[in-house]
Amino acid sequence: MATDPSLTCCRYLLSAILAMEPSYCLISHAKACGEGSITEQVQQFILDHCLSTPSDFYAPYLKNFLKKLITQVESDHGSVLDKFYQLYAQYITSFKDDSLDKRDSRICKRISFLFPDGCSELQTCSHSSVLNFPLQCSINMLEGDTGCSIWPSSLFLSELILSHPELFSNKVCFEIGSGVGLVGLCLAHVKASKVILSDGDLSTLANMKFNLELNNLNVETGTAQRNEDTSAVKCMYLPWESASESQLQDIIPDVILGADVIYDPVCLPHLVRVITILLNQRNMDSSSKGLSPKCELENGEHYYKGAIDGSEGRYKSVNNDGCNGQPKEAPVAYIACVIRNIETFNYFLTLGDQANLHIEDLTELLKPMVLLPYMQSYNQADIKLLCITCSRKIVLQ
């Protein structure tokens, strides 16, 4: 098979290497390029297009890949290009494996979203079939540096945003627990009117800010204010357990997002409280403006009532608080999660019910396109998508 970079299998191989996918994934893509074996032509493609500047890669990662590639080719009784032996020997002699254990080390992964040919969403995606984001990440997630790792649900939310930009474009979007900032980058790309990212860990927040600037975005830190520059992405320190209504009073989001935030039972009451505050901000803001409680809808109601409108395949929260009976979109939260512990997940649902939140499973109804097909370490089917709105009736005072 010709190793043309434009071919699907070659694009997958290149994207997988840049994203630092596991070696088994790279070997699988390399064999696909060679129709079952890693030919010398495929090896040359890897050297010319994937490893043209080896210094850009994290050395232990590249060393491990080279070892697996050489072993695979030799076991298939193929010929290994001399350059691979030279590179592998260089890495063996230039560093020690104990560098893997350095907790504060960072690596740069490049996440590439691959859009299908003829995709209508390209009109909002710079007319390019590939969207790349470099991200500084942790190399050791298991040592407590979880906020600087790329989690599956953040990949899912990113695909969702890029697949359905109409749900986020021209909206004020607030993310809880933003991690490396990938979701925020996608929100900025589809032209959300304001992007506010938050995290409760200061080192994660600093790394997030670095990633936003690495991708040429303007960044503002601190509590977001209504009169600030809307073109900049906001970053704010927000520990859930200490977050207060006064701290969030100037944030009135249209869309709230969270990726893999349902994990620790101890944190869940605080998480639900933050989500509830944010979903109710518009109602509190309306009350503070002195809206008349006698402003009735056509059906005689004059209170907020949240509902999900699924007409024409689109999902939005409708708030019937208009004085002329006109529906108005109410805030909505999209939470993507992997259910690792069913008891913890059920506890979250119970807390949401107690807080008068309406939680709907949209996993089967609102699917994103597969924009990361080269990632064998990530599977969309593992992710559950929840849509949360406020179901409580609130009389406008």
The CATH number covering residue 390 comes to 3.40.50.150
Domain that holds residue 25: 8-100
Token pair 């350095």 is found at: 102
- Cα(109)–Cα(13) distance, rounded to whole angstroms? 14
- Give the mean model confidence (pLDDT) for residues 181-192: 96
- Cα(196)–Cα(159) distance, rounded to whole angstroms? 19
- Long-range Cβ pairs for the range 243-251 (8 Å, 24+): 243/270, 243/273, 243/274, 243/277, 245/277, 245/284, 247/223, 248/274, 248/277, 248/278, 248/281, 249/281, 249/284, 250/223, 250/224, 250/225, 250/226, 251/174, 251/196, 251/224, 251/278, 251/281
Per-residue pLDDT at 311 exceeds 50: no
pLDDT at 103: 45
pLDDT at 28: 96
| Residue 107 forms part of a structural domain | no
- Cα(340)–Cα(348) distance, rounded to whole angstroms? 13
Question: Cα-flanking dihedrals φ and ψ of residue 326, to 5°?
Answer: -85, 135
Q: Are residues 77 and 201 in the same domain?
A: no
Q: Are residues 342 and 228 in the same domain?
A: yes
Q: Are residues 81 and 30 in the same domain?
A: yes
Per-residue pLDDT at 206 exceeds 50: yes
Q: Are residues 218 and 357 in the same domain?
A: yes
Percentage of the chain exceeding pLDDT 70: 75
Q: Are residues 90 and 225 in the same domain?
A: no
Cβ–Cβ < 8 Å for 251, 224: yes
| Residue 2 forms part of a structural domain | no
* pTM, entire model: 0.84
Q: Which residues pair with 255 in a beta bridge?
A: 173, 332
Please write the tens of the pLDDT for every residue from 162-179.
999 999 999 999 999 999
Q: Are residues 14 and 70 in the same domain?
A: yes
Q: Are residues 72 and 147 in the same domain?
A: no
More confident residue, 130 or 292: 130
Please write the tens of the pLDDT for every residue from 66-120.
999 999 999 999 999 999 999 999 888 876 654 444 444 778 999 999 998 766 5
Last residue in a domain, options 39, 67, 100:
100
| Residue 3 forms part of a structural domain | no
SS3 content of the chain, % helix, strand, coil (to 5): 40, 20, 40
Q: Are residues 234 and 304 in the same domain?
A: yes
| Residue 35 forms part of a structural domain | yes
Per-residue pLDDT at 127 exceeds 90: no
Count Cβ atoms within 10 A of the Cβ of residue 315 and give its class: 0-12 exposed, 13-18 middle, 19 or more buried.
middle
Q: Are residues 180 and 89 in the same domain?
A: no
More confident residue, 289 or 360: 360
| Residue 190 forms part of a structural domain | yes
Per-residue pLDDT at 328 exceeds 70: no
Per-residue pLDDT at 313 exceeds 80: no
Q: Taking all residues of the chain, what is their mean pLDDT, rounded to a whole number?
A: 82
Q: Are residues 96 and 163 in the same domain?
A: no
- Total structural domains within the chain: 2
Q: Are residues 161 and 251 in the same domain?
A: yes
| Residue 114 forms part of a structural domain | no
| Residue 128 forms part of a structural domain | no
| Residue 118 forms part of a structural domain | no
